[in-house]
Amino acid sequence: MGVTTTALSVISANMIGSALPTHIAIGIGSDAFASGNTALDSEAERNQINATSLGISEQVTFVADWSPNEVSGLVITEYGTFTTGSSMLNREVFAGSLVFTGEEELQIQQTFKFFI
């Protein structure tokens, strides 16, 4: 996973309680990750994070779900995590693609691990 330069700023800001991750978006773009990315190549759907958990070893997980209707017919190749202000914290580009026929659900669990 590639973490953007924006993520470093947001992580710092969260130390004093500002912007938090609120959404995960899925897309159909395929350009390689770059740390200066500010958006997905081609966003298809964005859903609110519906669960968070603090794990061991300074990590936090954000979870978003999509129903079969939301992903039906999509060929997903990328996803990213976004703040309330739509700042992208990370972008992941798949080696292949995920094809949805209308019967599958999708859940993305994005875990950020912090260490020195």
The predicted structure's pLDDT at residue 14:
65
The predicted structure's pLDDT at residue 112:
84
- Domains of the chain: total: 1
Q: Is 69 exposed, middle or buried (0-12, 13-18, 19+ CB in 10 A)?
A: exposed
- Asked if 18 and 9 touch (Cβ cutoff 8 Å), the reply is no
Distance, CA of 111 to CA of 99 (rounded, Å): 23
Range of the domain at 84: 2-113
Place of tokens 């691990």: 113
Distance, CA of 56 to CA of 43 (rounded, Å): 32
pLDDT tens readout for residues 3-15: 787 776 676 566 4
The predicted structure's pLDDT at residue 1:
73
pLDDT tens readout for residues 35-70: 999 999 999 999 999 988 876 666 788 999 999 999
The predicted structure's pLDDT at residue 16:
46
pLDDT tens readout for residues 107-116: 999 988 776 4
pTM: 0.83
pLDDT tens readout for residues 69-104: 999 999 999 999 998 878 899 999 999 999 999 999
